[in-house]
Amino acid sequence: MAGVKNRPLSPHLQIWRWGPAMAISILHRVTGNGLAFAGLGVLLWWLGALVGGEAAYAVFTTHATAWYGRVVLIGLTWAFFSHMCSGLRHFVLDIGAGFELQSNNFWSVVTPIVAIVLTVATWATILR
């Protein structure tokens, strides 16, 4: 094997043209990792504050309602809805539908828009 010079290259990012489907697929992985790490950290802090008593919960609430806490919570909400919408898109692809280029590109563009709309609607309801 070491002497073979004309081996085929595996497809990589320099060969494929970037498109909406590729960007959404990468965003799906990024939001999943963000939810796993940042979301888990916030969830564990919240649960720890719940069992830690009034003082611990007051500290959590102070940070969660500050501007930086709201930014983190809104970001996690967007990541959740983005990951969910992208997961539903992947589910449809897994059942064999939506592989046509126009359909795939359309739903790849619609996915983040729906996630933003759901995030805005959720936070409008929370802050109302």
Joined tokens for residue 40: 């888990």
Q: List residues forming the annotated binding site for heme.
A: 83
Q: List residues forming the annotated binding site.
A: 83
Task: Please state whether the predicted TM-score (pTM) of the whole model is above 0.75.
Answer: yes
User: What is the pLDDT tens value at each position of the chain, 128 positions in all?
Assistant: 566 677 666 666 667 778 899 899 999 999 999 999 999 999 999 999 999 999 999 999 999 999 999 999 999 999 999 999 999 999 999 998 988 989 999 999 999 999 999 999 999 999 99
Do the beta carbons of residue 24 and residue 82 sit within 8 Å?
no
> Concatenated DSSP letters for 20-71?
HHHHHHHHHHHHHHHIIIIIHHHHHHHHHHHHH-HHHHHHHHHHHHSHHHHH
Q: What is the CB neighbour count within 10 angstroms for residue 71?
A: 10
Which CATH number applies to 21-127?
Answer: 1.20.1300.10
